[in-house]
Amino acid sequence: MKATQLLSACTILFKPHGWAPFCLITAASVFVKPTPPAYAQTFLEVDGRESIRFVPETVDILENLGLDLLPPISTATPAQGFDFGFQFIPPDSNTLRRSNLAFEVIEIEGALSTVPLGGIESFDASFEFIVNTERLDLDPILRFDNFSTFVPSNFFSPEFQIFIAQEDEQRFPEFRLFDVSVLGPITLDPSTQMLVLENVDLNISQEFSDFLQSAGAEVDTTGLKFIEARGDRELLEISTTEVPDLSNSLIGICLVGFGLLVSKLRS
């Protein structure tokens, strides 16, 4: 029977130079000598949703600064326990904005390790604030839309960081809103080709906080958790290849965000 629960043993991965922890390692990173052959499968995210709820304490802080959050319009049915849902924009969408995030799953002695290859997750999502113009030097309505999760391809670099931003017309991040932290559990089931990410935190970015302070806000909101989320993704296998002997290689097994992870599961 295939198990889809994460291994219970885990530790926090810290970035060097004082970076805060932003992902989990399941079990420890270990040297392994797999019995060949091992197989690598490449998956593309093709459908799904993001379910969210706002953190009341942070909503109150922003309101005191002059931003009154309006309830967003759901574009997908949220998962149980969440207030709003946003539709994942698939790779074959006819719109300019479309998702293209892929990752590789390597099977070694019955265990699965998954490495994001970089890309974008796009969502049909937006929200608005009514601005107290006596407190903030902004237009009466502050609107954010064209939300996308940006996943760099430099997964093993100390600079790797997943974030959510608005896209510009060239599909580059126009305005960075949130940094993403995934606490798990995360479930990857290759038999059904479904991925579920739980306890996903969206924290206010330095850029968003600086923007508010430049408009007159007196509080630094960097790092405040604004949204709690859950990601549900449908996967499509696009290739399978045999992997050379990985003896004496270091397999880092980490969880990172919106399908963006390295996880180890048992069969």
**Residue-range domain boundaries for the chain:** 41-265
Which pLDDT score is estimated for 17? 27
Q: What percent of the chain has pLDDT over 90?
A: 47
Q: Higher-confidence residue: 106 or 248? A: 106
Residue 62 has phi, psi (to 5 degrees) of -65, -35
Q: Which helix (H) or strand (E) holds 177?
A: strand 173-182
* C-alpha 147, offset from chain centre: 12
Q: Is the dihedral of CA 197, 203, 205, 206 positive or negative?
A: negative
Mean residue pLDDT of the chain comes to: 77
Which pLDDT score is estimated for 231? 95
Q: Which two tokens stand for residue 108?
A: 């070694």
Alpha carbon distance 102, 45 (integer Å): 6
Alpha carbon distance 3, 1 (integer Å): 6
Q: Which residues contact 56 (CB under 8 A, 6 or more apart)?
A: none
Given a cut of 50, is residue 267 above it in pLDDT?
no
- Tens of pLDDT, residues 37-62: 567 888 899 999 999 999 999 999 99
Alpha carbon distance 164, 203 (integer Å): 10
> Nearest to residue 78, comparing CAs of 22, 140, 12, 123?
123
SS3 134: coil
pTM to 2 decimal places: 0.74
- Going from the C-alpha of 7 to that of each of 28, 100, 195, 235, 264, the distances in angstroms are 10, 29, 16, 22, 7
List residues bridging with 111 in a β-sheet.
108
Q: Are 38 and 247 in contact (CB under 8 A)?
A: no
Q: Which two tokens stand for residue 27?
A: 């079990």
Q: Which helix (H) or strand (E) holds 186?
A: strand 186-189
Alpha carbon distance 185, 231 (integer Å): 11
> Nearest to residue 54, comparing CAs of 252, 217, 245, 202?
202
